[in-house]
Amino acid sequence: ESDLALDNLAQKVQESLSLDQRHKFWETQPVGQFKDIGNPTLPEGPIEPPTPLSEVKQEPYNLPNLYEWVTCDIHDEQMCDEIYTLLANNYVEDDENMFRFNYSKEFLRWALQPPGYFTAWHIGVRVKTSKKMVAFITGIPARIRVRDEVVNMAEINFLCVHKKLRTKRLAPVMIKEVTRRVHLENIWQAAYTAGVILPTPVATCQYWHRSLNPKKLIDVGFSRLGARMTMSRTIKLYKLPESTVTPGFRKMEIHDVPAVTRLIRNYLSQFIVAPDFDENDVEHWLLPRENVVDSYLVESPETHEVTDFCSFYTLPSSILGNPNYSTLKAAYSFYNVSTATPLLQLMNDALIVAKQKDYDVFNALDVMQNESFLKELKFGPGDGKLHYYLYNYRVRHALKSSELGLVLL
């Protein structure tokens, strides 16, 4: 118990030390710099021009001696196992080290194999002798519109270094290596998020949580009993109907892809930054996959028109050191569109389905039009902020979270 606490303390000291090392690294990169914020003379758009492919570094960056690069074929069962285990033991935790994300193997295969993906962008670091996987970083291709320009980008995610190697300065060289491999595919921009501040957020979003199983959430320390509230009063407060209320509300199916694509393209056009989804993207990202992504739509019983859509992805968290529970079952709001059903009612149906499927909590960022339902559907503000970043693309002013139409996994 005590040496775990000591370990966490040592990690916090290390993290605070590495804050300025982090900024030193990012000041060498083509990203918006703090000193440039609000500078009207700097144009929006790419910061550096593309490099001729012949001039892109052809060979991988050097790792510290004991380690080697490994290109990870996530489709390979054993490789997928190794990546799953590295993340399950070493990926993002909350500030109090009570929870750690536990992305499932089927989720990772979904997240990393969208249309047009590159295996070369799934990069591992392993110990030369033991072949143990000790670090990971990924990119996937995405067409992201910024205002009225669609840009080919890489979405960077799952940067993870083993807890015992956090002082080895592996992250900067991993970021440079994935950037190099993205450049080799003639892509010069990227999008990524972090719970920490780096130069320079393009938007800062707030997490909100809607309790579905309040007793468990209080037992595991995710939430606290409200002042002047009893447990039975709290359970009653968050109670939901047994079944959804919207006529025509049903799971999305493969034949709905064209209609959902039209619906979501039209809806996302109102946001300053949003994915430019085509039918292949919609089929991959929004068709239901058990325990990975759930999506529902409203088909008008009269006209059979698809008028609304809602979706959430499944990202459980390991509960660290609790005797009674090992996993927090969390749903994360993904993309939602309402044109006929009030968004409030549509999202309440999403909560009802999530409760039916035994989720403990439904999380949502305050992006898109989510603010319009959060308070009324009894979401509470979380302690986590999520900062969005663009690489090699300047946005003159940070966006409001409601101007953001992009959800990363």
Integer Cα distance of 145 and 147 in angstroms? 6
Number of residues that bind ligand CJ4 (CB under 6 A): 18
From 257, 201, 249, select the one nearest 347 (Cα to Cα). 249
Residues in region 127-186 near ligand CJ4 by CB under 6 A: 157
- Rounded to whole angstroms, the Cα distance separating 139 from 388 reads 15
Residue of minimal CB distance from ligand CJ4?
Answer: 384
CB nearer to ligand CJ4: give 101 or 271: 101
Q: Is 363 in the site for ligand CJ4 (CB under 6 A)?
A: yes
CA distance 29 to 19: 16
Q: What share of the chain is helix, strand, coil (3-state, %, to 5)?
A: 30, 30, 40
Burial class for 170, CB neighbours closer than 10 Å (0-12, 13-18, 19+): buried
- 93 sits near ligand CJ4 (criterion: CB under 6 A): yes
User: Which range in 104-112, 181-189, 261-269, 379-387 contacts ligand CJ4 by CB under 6 A?
Assistant: 379-387
Task: Examine residue 388 and tell whether it contacts ligand CJ4 (CB under 6 A).
Answer: no
In the complex, the smallest distance separating the C-beta of residue 222 from ligand CJ4, rounded to whole angstroms, is: 6
**Which residues belong to the active site?**
409
Tell whether residue 333 is a contact of ligand CJ4 (CB under 6 A).
no
Q: Which is nearer to ligand CJ4, 146 or 315 (CB)?
A: 315
Cα(157)–Cα(165) distance, rounded to whole angstroms?
Answer: 19
Please identify, among the stretches 44-52, 249-257, 347-355, 382-390, the one whose residues bind ligand CJ4 according to the rule CB under 6 A.
Answer: 382-390
Find, among 206, 156, 192, the residue nearest to 400 by Cα.
Answer: 206
By CB under 6 A, tell whether 362 contacts ligand CJ4: no
Residues in 208-247 that interact with ligand CJ4 by CB under 6 A = none
Kindly tell me which of 224 and 228 has the beta carbon lying closer to ligand CJ4: 224
Check: CB of residue 144 under 8 Å from CB of residue 407: no
- The only residue of 68, 94, 283, 403 in contact with ligand CJ4, by rule CB under 6 A: 94
> What is the closest distance, in whole angstroms, from the C-beta atom of residue 297 to ligand CJ4 in the complex?
24
Report d(CA 172, CA 74) in Å as an integer. Answer: 23
Q: Which two tokens stand for residue 396?
A: 């003159």
Provide the minimum distance between the beta carbon of 352 and ligand CJ4 in the complex, in angstroms, as a whole number: 21
Query: DSSP secondary-structure letter at 101?
Result: E
- E strand or H helix that includes residue 152: strand 149-161
**Which range in 89-97, 111-119, 131-139, 284-292 contacts ligand CJ4 by CB under 6 A?**
89-97
- Binding footprint of ligand CJ4 on the chain (CB under 6 A): 92-94, 99-101, 157, 193, 195, 207, 315, 317, 363, 382, 384, 386, 408-409
